[in-house]
């Protein structure tokens, strides 16, 4: 049953309700609010009152109407959801004990469909536990029947305020999520642009590296393919020894450019088929330092400099250019020196004869703790015996 506000004028005059009436039901009837208690002002909030007791519905409706609320009423709880679907409401005041659906069932339906709609539960004194449970289920508050007019208005105001805060919080959360999504989208776009820039930069780096290597190959044709071979072997050995990431990149670049300093050696010395004089040997021994000077200003080759400078250091301290010994020699340079010596033995050079793989491995083992780090030699020998050269 839907009751319009115009029906409120049909209420009996207050004087017809006898104060001495002994009827138990009449004792608990809420008294009508005096019109002079509140100054009426029109309010935008719309309230739906639901109770199977027509008297309760009409009294609460009149009390809220007097303070300016827009009010809809019904004594049929099954009509609540259709009413809410058809008209926006800011608050529902619902009795707990009603024919199907009861107040708790109705509360759950409202929570599902309208999570920010404030709901006040009407309950008798004997049903406080149920009202408390209703609040745990999402009700804004409860009103005990027979209710006090001022408490009714206070709790309505409080429920509306709570509902508004929940709406604002949800709106803020939504805006925050939208901002996060927008920022994530911008970061994703920036990341994609950065990735593209890095890819282009990597292509430029590779082109620089290939140009330097090509210049070295043209300059020193005594060992064609040497740089490519030792680069692949050095990376394989470093992986076997547990190195990853930038270390593999650094040893690859260092191996490819380890002899870049030979660009400064005169042809008469670099291409000389016979033994070098002590003076010529000193010129050759400068090529690691010269190589670092040639590529030292290139940012992406900084990690390769230890290999370029120290690949001719000897484990016993008798190498060049700095005479480093043992663990003083950077590990990547120690790894590369073993690979470099092996490749020099198994490939044709103007100053040596080609050896078999096994002979070259035996030679490396003979120079453990002299020219080479014994641990590196052992790892290299095991790798070649298990996997082969290629």
Return the closest-CA partner of residue 29 out of 60, 8, 55. Answer: 55
Report which of 113, 114, 145 is spatially closest to residue 130, judged by C-alpha positions. 145
Q: Are residues 241 and 375 in the same domain?
A: yes
Say if 215 falls within a structural domain. Answer: no
Euclidean distance between CA atoms 203 and 242, whole angstroms: 27
Nearest to 345 by CA among 219, 223, 248, 201: 223
Average pLDDT over all residues of the chain? 83
CATH code of the domain containing 253: 1.10.3210.10
Neighbours of 79 (CB within 10 A): 14
Query: Are both 134 and 9 inside the same structural domain?
Result: yes
151 lies in the same domain as 246: no
Rounded (10°) CA dihedral 354, 356, 359, 361: 100
More confident position, 141 or 343: 343
Q: Tokens at residue 302, please?
A: 């900084």
DSSP 13: P
Q: Which residues of 135-151 are buried (b: 16+ CB within 10 A; e: fewer)?
A: eeeebbbbbbbebebee
Q: Give the model's pLDDT for residue 254.
A: 94
Going from the C-alpha of 101 to that of each of 78, 96, 340, 360, the distances in angstroms are 6, 10, 88, 93
**Structure token digits, residue 124:** 């008798």
Identify whether residues 22 and 86 lie together within a single domain.
yes
pLDDT at 82: 94
Tokens of 220: 């020193």
Cβ atoms < 10 Å from Cβ of 341: 19
Q: What is the DSSP letter of 33?
A: P
Q: Are residues 32 and 167 in the same domain?
A: yes
CA–CA separation, 169 and 383 (whole Å): 64
- Is residue 238 pLDDT above 70, yes or no? yes
Residue found under tokens 């009103």: 143
Type and span of the H or E element at 2: strand 2-3
pLDDT given at position 355: 87
Query: Is the residue at 62 inside a domain?
Result: yes
Confidence of residue 292 (pLDDT cuts 50, 70, 90): very high
pLDDT in the model for residue 39: 53
Instruction: Name the percent of the chain lying above pLDDT 90.
Output: 46
Q: Look at residue 354 and tell me if it is in a domain.
A: yes
* For residue 222, pLDDT beyond 50: yes
- 3-class DSSP assignment, residue 144: strand
Give bridge partners of residue 109 from the DSSP assignment.
Answer: none
**Residue 122 and residue 245 share a domain:** no
| Beta strands 91-95; 2-3: pairing state | unpaired
Token pair of 119 as six digits: 């709901």
Query: Are 166 and 279 within one domain?
Result: no
Q: What is the pLDDT of residue 335?
A: 97
160 & 289 share domain? no
List, in sequence order, the alpha helices (H) in the chain.
24-27, 54-66, 80-86, 103-113, 128-136, 149-219, 226-240, 246-256, 267-270, 278-285, 287-295, 305-310, 331-346, 357-366, 374-387
Residue at 211 is within a domain: no
- The C-alpha atoms of residue 226 and residue 229 are separated, in whole angstroms, by 5
Is pTM beyond 0.85? Reply is no
Asked if residue 200 has pLDDT above 60, the reply is yes
Is the CB of residue 90 less than 8 Å from the CB of residue 63?
no
Q: Which tens digits make up the pLDDT trace of 2-25?
A: 444 433 333 333 333 333 333 334
Is residue 41 located within the same domain as residue 165?
yes
- Pick the last residue of a domain from 137, 156, 171: 171
Considering the domain architecture, whether residues 142 and 233 belong to the same structural domain is answered as: no
Pairing of strands 2-3, 70-74: antiparallel
Number of domains in the chain: 2
pLDDT tens digits for range 104-152? 899 999 988 998 888 998 887 667 777 777 888 888 888 888 888 888 8
- SS3 string, 94-109, reads EECCCCCCCHHHHHHH
Q: Is residue 104 part of a domain?
A: yes
- The pLDDT confidence band at residue 250, using thresholds 50, 70 and 90, is very high
pLDDT reported for residue 18: 30
Q: pLDDT band at 207, cuts 50/70/90?
A: confident
In the predicted structure, residue 349 carries a pLDDT above the cut 70: no
Backbone angles phi, psi at 230, to 5 degrees: -70, -30
CA distance 99 to 296: 88
Task: Give the CATH number for residue 147.
Answer: 3.40.50.2300
Residues 121, 262 within the same domain: no
| Residue 14 to residues 17, 27, 78, 316, Cα–Cα distance (Å) | 6, 14, 31, 115
Residue 254 belongs to a domain: yes
Q: Is the pLDDT of residue 353 over 80?
A: no
How far apart are the C-alpha atoms of 152 and 166, rounded to whole Å? 21
Does any domain span residue 68? yes
What's the pLDDT score for residue 5? 40
CB neighbours of residue 202 within 10 Å: 11
Q: Which domain holds residue 121?
A: 2-171
Residues 142 and 236 in one domain: no
Is 326 a member of any domain? yes
Please provide residue 3's backbone torsions phi and psi, each rounded to the nearest 5 degrees: -110, 125
């Amino acid at each position: 049953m839907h009751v319009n506000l115009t029906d409120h004028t049909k209420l009996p005059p207050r004087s017809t309700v006898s104060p001495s009436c002994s009827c138990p039901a009449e004792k608990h009837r809420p008294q009508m609010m005096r019109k002079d208690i509140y100054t009426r002002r029109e309010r935008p909030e719309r309230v739906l009152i639901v109770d199977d007791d027509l008297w309760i519905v009409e009294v609460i409706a009149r009390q809220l109407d007097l303070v300016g609320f827009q009010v809809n009423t019904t004594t049929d709880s099954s009509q609540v959801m259709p009413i809410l679907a058809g008209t926006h409401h800011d608050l529902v005041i619902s009795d707990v004990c009603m024919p199907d659906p009861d107040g708790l069932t109705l509360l759950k339906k409202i929570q599902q469909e309208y999570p920010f709609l404030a709901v006040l539960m009407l309950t008798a004194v004997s049903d406080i536990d149920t009202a408390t449970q209703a609040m745990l289920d999402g009700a804004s508050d409860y009103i005990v029947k027979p209710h006090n007019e001022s408490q009714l208005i206070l709790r309505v105001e409080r429920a509306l305020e709570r509902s508004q805060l929940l709406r604002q919080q949800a709106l803020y959360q939504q805006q925050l999520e939208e901002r996060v999504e927008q920022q994530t989208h911008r970061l994703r776009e920036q990341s994609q642009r950065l990735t593209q820039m890095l890819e282009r930069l990597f292509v430029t780096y590779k082109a620089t590296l290939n140009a330097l290597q090509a210049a070295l190959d043209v300059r020193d044709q005594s060992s064609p393919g040497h740089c490519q071979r030792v680069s692949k072997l050095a990376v394989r050995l470093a992986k076997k020894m547990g190195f990853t990431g930038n270390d593999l990149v650094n040893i690859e670049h260092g191996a490819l450019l380890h002899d870049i300093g030979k660009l400064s050696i005169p042809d008469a010395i670099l291409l000389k088929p016979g033994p070098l004089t002590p003076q010529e040997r000193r010129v050759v021994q400068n090529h690691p330092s010269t190589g670092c000077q040639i590529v030292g200003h290139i940012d992406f080759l900084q990690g390769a400099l230890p290999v370029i400078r120290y690949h001719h250091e000897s484990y016993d301290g008798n190498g060049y250019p700095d005479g480093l010994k043992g663990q003083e020699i950077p590990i990547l340079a120690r790894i590369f020196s073993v690979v470099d010596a092996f490749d020099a033995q198994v490939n044709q050079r103007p100053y040596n004869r080609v050896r078999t793989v096994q002979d070259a491995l035996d030679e490396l083992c003979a120079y453990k703790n002299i020219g080479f780090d014994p641990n590196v030699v052992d790892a290299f020998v095991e790798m070649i015996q298990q996997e082969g050269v290629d």
